[in-house]
């Protein structure tokens, strides 16, 4: 995304099960430098961030104490508030955050675009039909499911663009062994292109297309 600077656009970033850790902070900083206004709520409340070695504990906390329904409701409430203040609003999620972003795509007129990186639990919500343009990014390797099966199902829907890259879950996170610099830079540029295209459509039509 080094080649684009975008103003008048707010991105609502939704974190993974670990909370707002260094990875998410780095993402937000990078987006800020490109001219985006970034909002990143902490869905864990007052809980401290979880370390990667506490993956099971972090996952159980999210499933049992938060869950997709409550998390999505919180994000949608915030998005409705942001919608009244910004020209363009996008939601960007990673892992469980991507699934929450996907669930947000069904709200007509709320987001100008939805972006999700390796939202593995999207497979549990394939009944969703996006009301806005949606960019979903999947790696070729996932531990719990075959991404190709999910991609095939998603390709039957409208308003969805899918990018599949060689790699594993979490490939954008420099703190993990799954980090892939090339795939990250490629996908982030595609994300930037996606946002610019939607913003242009908005400007040309005088509203959400």
- What residue segments make up the domains of the chain, in order of their start? 9-204
Q: What is the pLDDT of residue 192?
A: 95
- Nearest Cα to 153, choosing from 138, 165, 166? 138
Pick the CATH number of 9-204 from 3.40.50.1820, 3.40.50.300, 3.30.1550.10, 3.40.1160.10: 3.40.50.1820
For the beta sheet containing 160-168, the strands, ordered from the edge strand earlier in sequence to the opposite edge, are 37-39, 9-14, 88-94, 113-117, 134-141, 160-168
Torsional sign, CA 11, 29, 117, 42: negative
- Position of tokens 């343009």? 133
Q: Which residues pair with 93 in a beta bridge?
A: 14, 116
Per-residue pLDDT of the chain (209 residues; tens, 9 = 90+): 445 656 689 999 999 999 999 999 999 999 999 999 999 999 998 767 899 999 999 999 999 999 999 999 999 999 999 999 888 999 999 999 999 999 999 999 999 999 999 999 999 999 999 999 999 999 999 999 999 999 999 999 999 999 999 999 999 999 999 999 999 999 999 999 999 999 887 655 555 43
Pairing of strands 9-14, 113-117: unpaired
Q: What is the pLDDT of residue 49?
A: 87
- Nearest Cα to 153, choosing from 129, 117, 187? 129
C-alpha to C-alpha distance for 134 and 116, rounded to whole angstroms = 8
Contacts of 34 (CB under 8 A, 6+ apart): 1, 4, 5, 6, 192
Query: The whole model's pTM is what?
Result: 0.92
Pairing of strands 160-168, 113-117: unpaired
- Give pLDDT tens digits for 41-99: 999 987 678 999 999 999 999 999 999 999 999 999 999 999 998 889 999 999 999 99
> Nearest 5°: CA angle at 148, between 120 and 122?
25
Q: What is the pLDDT of residue 1?
A: 47
């Amino acid at each position: 995304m080094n080649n684009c600077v975008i103003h008048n656009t707010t991105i609502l970033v939704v974190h993974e099960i670990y909370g707002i850790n260094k990875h998410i902070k780095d993402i937000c900083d990078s987006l800020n430098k490109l001219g985006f206004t970034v909002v990143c709520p902490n869905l864990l409340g007052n809980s401290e961030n979880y370390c990667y070695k506490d993956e099971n504990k972090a996952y159980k906390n999210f499933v049992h104490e938060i869950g997709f329904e409550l998390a999505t409701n919180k994000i949608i409430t915030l998005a409705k508030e942001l919608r009244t203040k910004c020209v363009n609003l996008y939601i960007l999620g990673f892992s469980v955050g991507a699934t929450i972003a996907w669930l947000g795509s069904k709200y007509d007129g709320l987001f100008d675009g939805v972006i999700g990186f390796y939202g593995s639990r999207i497979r549990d919500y394939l009944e969703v039909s996006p009301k806005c343009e949606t960019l979903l990014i999947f790696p070729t390797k996932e531990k719990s499911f075959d991404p190709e099966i999910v991609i095939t199902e998603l390709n039957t829907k409208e308003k969805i663009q899918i990018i599949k890259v060689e790699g594993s879950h979490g490939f954008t996170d420099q703190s993990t062994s799954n980090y892939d610099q090339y795939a990250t830079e490629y996908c982030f540029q595609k994300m930037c292109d996606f946002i610019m295209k939607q913003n242009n459509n908005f400007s040309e039509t005088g509203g959400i297309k």
